[in-house]
Amino acid sequence: MTRTAWSLGVLLFCLLAAPVTAQDSMLGLPLVLRDGGWARYVGNTPAGSATFVFKVGAHDTHEGQRGRWLLLEIEVPGTGRVLFEFLVKGKVFTADQVLHTRVSVPGRPPQETKDAFANPERPGVWKPKLLRETTAKVAGRELPVTEYSFPAGLTAAWSPEVPGVGLVEVTGPEPFQLVAFGVGGDPWKGMTGRSHWPAPPVAK
């Protein structure tokens, strides 16, 4: 797996906590841990437009601490679908709640990391400022949404109806939005399986 793929996975997991050059904080919004739940997003990254999926995984224990796996799948050009698995304790999304990290790349053994956010790199947590409570329509369903603002010109719309990270939309330096969600089934159904990112340059 390339360093770019790993960096993108961490960036998405931090949920656009800050501009790429200053990732010093995380949103700290609640997880929506619904069994079998998933949410598919389209976002803009430094590499281009990308589609990615968050899924709620099984319960597990690591070094005596119990948590739940949060899965992030990304289609990487020339590699295939890369899977990031984060074992998270508690119900709020912060770096110090990540117990263990596992990365799986097609054709390679999984890579495991005890603490992907180890100090001094570990991000802090921003305190969200409530903007308003409203509704949003996604995939034909109207959702209750709470909008928050954060530093660095970032806003986030969160809903208790969206499994995984609960996000409906994030605006800021690298925005993304929810396009589909559900419980059970294949979150990639109907997708072409081809990445939305630009193809990597041909080696000379």
Give the residue from 76, 70, 112 showing the smallest Cα distance to 4.
76
Residue 198 lies in a domain: no
Q: What is the pLDDT of residue 118?
A: 55
Measured in residues, the chain has a length of 204
The domain tally of the chain equals 1
Residue 196 lies in a domain: no
Model confidence pLDDT, tens digit, residues 63-94: 999 999 999 998 777 777 888 898 999 888 77
Residue 83 lies in a domain: yes
Q: What is the pLDDT of residue 15?
A: 44
CA distance 14 to 83: 16
CATH of the domain at 168: 2.50.20
In the chain, pLDDT over 70 holds for what percent of residues?
72
Residue 197 lies in a domain: no
Q: Which domain holds residue 68?
A: 3-15+25-183
Peptide bond into 120 cis (omega under 30): yes
Q: 121-125: which pairs have CB atoms within 8 A and are 24 or more residues apart?
A: 122/95, 122/96, 123/14, 123/17, 123/18, 123/23, 123/24, 123/25, 123/26, 123/95, 124/24, 124/25, 124/26, 124/95, 125/25, 125/26, 125/27, 125/28, 125/94, 125/95
> What's the whole-number average pLDDT of the chain?
77
Q: What is the pLDDT of residue 114?
A: 67
Residue 131 lies in a domain: yes
Residue 135 lies in a domain: yes
DSSP 172-187: SSS-EEEEEEEESS-T
Residue 190 lies in a domain: no
Q: Which residues pair with 194 in a beta bridge?
A: none
**186 band by pLDDT with thresholds 50, 70 and 90:** very high
Residue 101 burial class via C-beta count within 10 angstroms: exposed 0-12, middle 13-18, buried 19 and up: buried
Structure tokens at 95: 């770096």
Residue 194 lies in a domain: no
- Residue 23: pLDDT over 50: no
Highest mean pLDDT, choosing among 42-51, 138-147, 173-182: 138-147
